[in-house]
A = this chain, B = another copy of it.
């Protein structure tokens, strides 16, 4: 028997509610498989910060590192100054654990209504770089609060960092039927970073000769996500563009209630982290209204990452079946979770 040590960071708001259901489905998926799971809850997020002033201590991080994977709900609360938890906790986890592949599928499941009039088949995946770009936190400001304030933000991009994520994206493209990779950037304006990305895609393509590639400026990408999302197979892009495009991708495939993500360390030098794309949604927190589906799909990605491929498929199939039948039924967070767990048990 194998035991999975899972770090659970439920976080804030609806994060707590959806993670509970994610864990229930995970239990259901592993029941009778010989694989067991030991979840450890980490008290991180707004409440901890209010109580102690801490976001993520070295001890927290060291302890999280000893786990096989992380399930995260959502981080953030209006009572905490903007950026404190995002930079001090969520991004700190992604950077410290070297989650350089932020994987976000854009898939329109059967039964889900897209806000697009003619969505067509939508089934792509965004490989968002997770440890560089404008997210590095290398900004600063002078004369803050005066008429002479200057506030800079630096996007840092390295050959090392770009190549490893591009390579990962090519491998994913190669494993898919269409074998197509789209680089999204803005190399006509951000010429230094953009040209590094472009040269890297061209160079790595030599090792994946059966993968076709194209390039879109980020502004044009938002157009095609509106008019022809079927054209996308694998998208590789930087941290900020990936953030933007994956919210748009979620919108056209039924909303962030369904959008899953995986923050992957492909070298497995630290645990990978699985989280819904949505935030803590303080407006509906504590009301049992949140849809746990995005978390459950993130659990499917977690199982896949741990090599539990059959279990992952069963979880995704349960969600797919649920989406076909859910129609306009209004269910609580727990009801959705319980029904999904029941389906997984079969």
A residues with a Cβ closer than 8 A to B are 76, 82-83, 86-87, 91, 113-118, 134-135, 139-141, 143-160, 163, 186-196, 198-199, 218-220, 222-223, 225-227, 240, 243-248, 250-252, 255-256
Q: When the two chains form their complex, are residues A158 and B149 in contact, meaning their CB atoms are under 8 A apart?
A: yes
Q: When the two chains form their complex, are residues B157 and A155 in contact, meaning their CB atoms are under 8 A apart?
A: no
Closest approach, in angstroms, between the C-beta of A338 and any C-beta of chain B? 28
Instruction: Return the contact of A251 from the options B151, B153, B186, B223 (Cβ within 8 A).
Output: B223
Interchain Cβ contacts under 8 Å between A and B, 22 examples: A83-B188, A83-B191, A115-B226, A115-B227, A134-B190, A139-B191, A139-B192, A143-B159, A147-B160, A150-B156, A150-B157, A150-B159, A151-B158, A152-B192, A152-B193, A153-B193, A218-B243, A219-B246, A219-B247, A222-B222, A226-B226, A227-B251
Q: How many copies does the complex hold?
A: 2
Instruction: Return the contact of A190 from the options B139, B144, B157, B160 (Cβ within 8 A).
Output: B139
Q: When the two chains form their complex, are residues A248 and B227 in contact, meaning their CB atoms are under 8 A apart?
A: no
Q: When the two chains form their complex, are residues B189 and A83 in contact, meaning their CB atoms are under 8 A apart?
A: yes
CA distance A245 to B150 in the complex (A): 24
Closest approach, in angstroms, between the C-beta of A88 and any C-beta of chain B? 11
Q: Cβ of A155: which chain B residues have Cβ within 8 Å of it?
A: 134, 139, 152-155
Q: When the two chains form their complex, are residues A255 and B227 in contact, meaning their CB atoms are under 8 A apart?
A: yes
19 more CB-based (< 8 A) A-B contacts, given A82-B188, A82-B195, A153-B155: A82-B191, A83-B188, A83-B194, A115-B116, A116-B117, A117-B117, A135-B189, A143-B159, A147-B159, A149-B196, A152-B154, A152-B155, A153-B190, A155-B155, A219-B247, A222-B245, A223-B247, A226-B226, A227-B255
Say yes or no: A151-B82 contact (C-beta < 8 A), given A116-B117, A251-B223, A251-B226.
Answer: no
Q: Cβ of A141: which chain B residues have Cβ within 8 Å of it?
A: 192, 195-196
CA distance A250 to B117 in the complex (A): 16
Q: Cβ of A115: which chain B residues have Cβ within 8 Å of it?
A: 116-118, 226-227
CA distance A335 to B250 in the complex (A): 40
- Closest Cβ neighbor of A145 among chain B residues: B199
Q: When the two chains form their complex, are residues B189 and A134 in contact, meaning their CB atoms are under 8 A apart?
A: yes
Closest approach, in angstroms, between the C-beta of A216 and any C-beta of chain B? 10
Instruction: Return the contact of A86 from the options B154, B160, B189 (Cβ within 8 A).
Output: B189
